[in-house]
Structure 1
Amino acid sequence: MGGVLLNIKKILPSLLTFANLSIGFIVLLLISNGEYRHALSLIIIAMVLDGLDGKLARKLQVSGDFGKELDSLCDIASFGLVPAFYTWHMNEAGLFYEIIMVLALIFFIICGAYRLARFNVETSTKGFAGLPITIAGGLLALVSYYAVMLNTLILIIFTIFLALLMISDISYSSFKGSHIQFRSYWWYLIPVLITFLFILLPYTFLIVLIVYLFSGIANEIL
């Protein structure tokens, strides 16, 4: 019986990771149908799930290399390929800028893959070296949606900026050292609360991510 429970405990975090990957595929379908608002909402949900799978694994004491590798494989799809595809569909420009945008998005995906590979071999647990791909992908999609009238060149520069932050050595908080203790399972409501917050106050999530982005830069400068 104990072995069965242990196997269930090991599977639970992976189910959240697979849900993240599945949502990424659904987002691609929504983008193809032009349902950009719904697609963006699902990207946000995928971001929340990506944060919860690791937390659940640590809470159940089943963290390991397998889960780490699986999470990275899903992340490059959900927060690398998907946001790039989303940004491409949201952007309308002439042929020259379209080519530059494609190159910028390819660079974004490559830097995201590098960031994940580096993360998998890091031994430090104090924070992240470079902007996490989850944040970078979420920001890229959010800015593409809310700044749809933004000059294409500015969006290209922003895409490259995010890519460079991912492969930088700038330190970002992982919040793993937080002293907040959850003595119940109320934290399972986090995805629901964030989703409602995003629906009621659409710009809130974008602002939070931008603050996080510049927090790392500010710490380096100061």
Structure 2
Amino acid sequence: MMDLPASAATAGQRPLRMGDVAPDFQARSTLGPVKLSDYRGRWLVFFSHPADFTPVCTSEFVAIAKAAEAFAAMDCGLLGLSVDSLYSHLAWVRAIRDGFDVTIPFPIVEDPSMAIGRAYGMIEPDSPDSSAVRATYFIDPEGVIRAMTWYPLNVGRSVDEMLRMVAALQRTAGGDALAPEGWRPGEDLLATAPQDQAGVLAGSNGAWFCRTEADGQ
């Protein structure tokens, strides 16, 4: 069972963008009924995969499951989705446990009608399946999409980069600093660029528009 409100259908008429509110939905999952809005108040990584029982998807889920505690330490939930049925998900979870000795600790949502995938723009309106979909949405505690990544069918996502993305989004959410290339917690940040001549001329010579600063947190 799934329940997509009218707002989700409307959002699905154009690709979702960063800054959009993530469309709410209610559906069955491997850990019982799930509603996206239940995750309000914490960060969420919501990700789709093309199909159960496939090599790349299995490697991703094993790695994400092993990193689940690291996401939880950042108060970030995990939620997977594919067009496969609940019973396919359950059989796959069992196969992963038996084959890799890894238990999937987060819900995997079923989407056999592709309603959720289409509402999120994961699937083209006229597509008969979701075989080319490997999307990830990083959603903040207010339910706003702060970042998105897309990977092709034949390339798996980097769980390390997913963790880094959450950490960087959380650290820069207040707008007081910027995360440079490859930033990780504890490393120097970038100061926001000055907005007037006084700010530009202040301080020492150099690249006033790209100044590092120690992370005070």
Query: TM-score, normalising length from structure 1?
Result: 0.29
Structure (1 or 2) with the greater helix fraction: 1
Q: Rg bigger for which structure? A: 2
Query: TM-score, normalising length from structure 2?
Result: 0.29
Structure (1 or 2) with the greater strand fraction: 2
